[in-house]
A and B are shown apart, each in its own frame.
Chain A
Amino acid sequence: MYRALAEAIRDAEQQGISLARLALETEARDQGRPVEEIRGALQRALDVMRGAVEQGMTGELRSASGLVGGDAAKLRTGPAGPLAGTLFRDVLARALAVQEVNAAMGVIVAAPTAGGAGVLPAVLTGLAQARAIPDDAVVDALAVAGLIGAVIAERASLSGAEGGCQAETGAAAAMAAGAATEMLGGSPGQVGHATALAMQGTLGLVCDPLGGLVELPCVFRNATGSAIALTGIELAIAGVEFAIPVDEVIDVMGQIGAEMDVRYRETAGGGLAATPTGRRLAHERLVQLRRR
Chain B
Amino acid sequence: MVSLLDIIGPVMVGPSSSHTAGACRLGLLARNLVGGTPEKARIELHGSFARTGEGHGTDKAIAGGLMGFRPDDERLRDALEIAEREGLDYAFEKTTIADDAHPNTARITLERGERQAVMTGSSLGAGRILVTEINDYSVEVSGGYHTIVLIAEDVKGSVAAIATILAEHGINIANLRLTRKARGGDAFMVIEVDDVPGEGVRDEIRALPWVRWAFRLDKVSA
Asked whether, in the complex, the Cβ of B15 is within 8 Å of the Cβ of A109, the reply is no
Q: Within 8 Å of chain B (Cβ to Cβ): is A198?
A: no
Asked whether, in the complex, the Cβ of B57 is within 8 Å of the Cβ of A64, the reply is yes
Given contacts A105-B15, A114-B21, A150-B4, is CB(A41)–CB(B9) below 8 Å?
A: yes
Asked whether, in the complex, the Cβ of B14 is within 8 Å of the Cβ of A289, the reply is no
Name the residue of chain B whose CB is nearest to the CB of A64.
B55
Name the residue of chain A whose CB is nearest to the CB of B79.
A105
**Contact digits for B2-26, partner A, Cβ 8 Å, 1 yes 0 no:** 1111111111111111001100000
Q: Within 8 Å of chain A (Cβ to Cβ): is B77?
A: yes
The main secondary structure of chain A at its interface with chain B is helix
Given contacts A27-B3, A64-B55, is CB(A105)–CB(B8) below 8 Å?
A: no
Given contacts A38-B5, A113-B17, A146-B5, is CB(A286)–CB(B55) below 8 Å?
A: yes
Q: Within 8 Å of chain A (Cβ to Cβ): is B35?
A: no
Asked whether, in the complex, the Cβ of B7 is within 8 Å of the Cβ of A146, the reply is yes
Q: Within 8 Å of chain A (Cβ to Cβ): is B169?
A: no
Whole-angstrom distance between the Cβ of B71 and the nearest chain A Cβ = 9
**Assembled-state Cα–Cα distance A109/B72 (Å):** 9
B8 in complex: contacting residue of A107, A149, A154, A161, CB < 8 Å = A149
Chain B residues contacting A145 (CB-CB under 8 Å) are: 7-8
**Assembled-state Cα–Cα distance A3/B17 (Å):** 24
Whole-angstrom distance between the Cβ of B175 and the nearest chain A Cβ = 17
**Contact digits for A132-176, partner B, Cβ 8 Å, 1 yes 0 no:** 000000000011011101100110001101100000000000010
Asked whether, in the complex, the Cβ of A213 is within 8 Å of the Cβ of B52, the reply is yes
Sorting the interface of chain B by its residue count into under 10, 10 to 19, 20 to 34 or 35 or more gives 20 to 34
Chain A residues contacting B204 (CB-CB under 8 Å) are: none
**Assembled-state Cα–Cα distance A223/B13 (Å):** 20
Asked whether, in the complex, the Cβ of A143 is within 8 Å of the Cβ of B55, the reply is no
Chain B residues contacting A1 (CB-CB under 8 Å) are: 1-4
Name the residue of chain B whose CB is nearest to the CB of A213.
B55
B9 in complex: contacting residue of A105, A111, A285, CB < 8 Å = A111
Whole-angstrom distance between the Cβ of B65 and the nearest chain A Cβ = 14
Asked whether, in the complex, the Cβ of B15 is within 8 Å of the Cβ of A110, the reply is no
Q: Within 8 Å of chain B (Cβ to Cβ): is A214?
A: yes
Q: Within 8 Å of chain B (Cβ to Cβ): is A42?
A: yes
Q: Within 8 Å of chain B (Cβ to Cβ): is A131?
A: no
The interface-forming segment of A96-104, A187-195, A234-242, A247-255 is: A96-104
A contacts with B, residue count (CB < 8 A): 56
Asked whether, in the complex, the Cβ of B12 is within 8 Å of the Cβ of A212, the reply is no
Q: Within 8 Å of chain B (Cβ to Cβ): is A4?
A: no
Interface residues of B in 42-84 (CB under 8 A from A): 48, 51-52, 54-57, 60, 72, 74, 76-77
Name the residue of chain B whose CB is nearest to the CB of A103.
B15
Chain B residues contacting A42 (CB-CB under 8 Å) are: 4-5, 8
Q: Within 8 Å of chain B (Cβ to Cβ): is A106?
A: yes
Asked whether, in the complex, the Cβ of B14 is within 8 Å of the Cβ of A112, the reply is no
Q: Within 8 Å of chain A (Cβ to Cβ): is B87?
A: no
* B contact residues vs A (CB 8 Å cutoff): 1-17, 20-21, 48, 51-52, 54-57, 60, 72, 74, 76-77, 125-127
Closest 8 pairs between A and B when the two form their complex, measured CB to CB: A102-B14, A146-B4, A149-B7, A212-B52, A214-B15, A213-B55, A150-B2, A105-B77
Q: With A107-B74, A162-B125, A211-B52 given, can you name 10 additional A-B contacts, CB distance below 8 Å?
A: A1-B2, A30-B1, A44-B11, A64-B15, A64-B55, A103-B15, A105-B15, A108-B13, A110-B12, A213-B56
* A contact residues vs B (CB 8 Å cutoff): 1, 23-24, 27, 30-31, 38, 41-42, 44-45, 48, 63-65, 101-115, 117, 120, 142-143, 145-147, 149-150, 153-154, 158-159, 161-162, 175, 211-215, 268, 285-286, 289-290
Can you list 27 A-B pairs, Cβ within 8 angstroms, ordered by A?
A: A44-B11, A45-B8, A45-B9, A64-B54, A101-B14, A104-B15, A105-B14, A105-B60, A107-B13, A108-B13, A109-B8, A109-B9, A110-B10, A110-B127, A111-B7, A113-B17, A114-B16, A114-B21, A115-B16, A120-B8, A142-B8, A143-B4, A145-B8, A153-B6, A153-B7, A212-B48, A214-B14
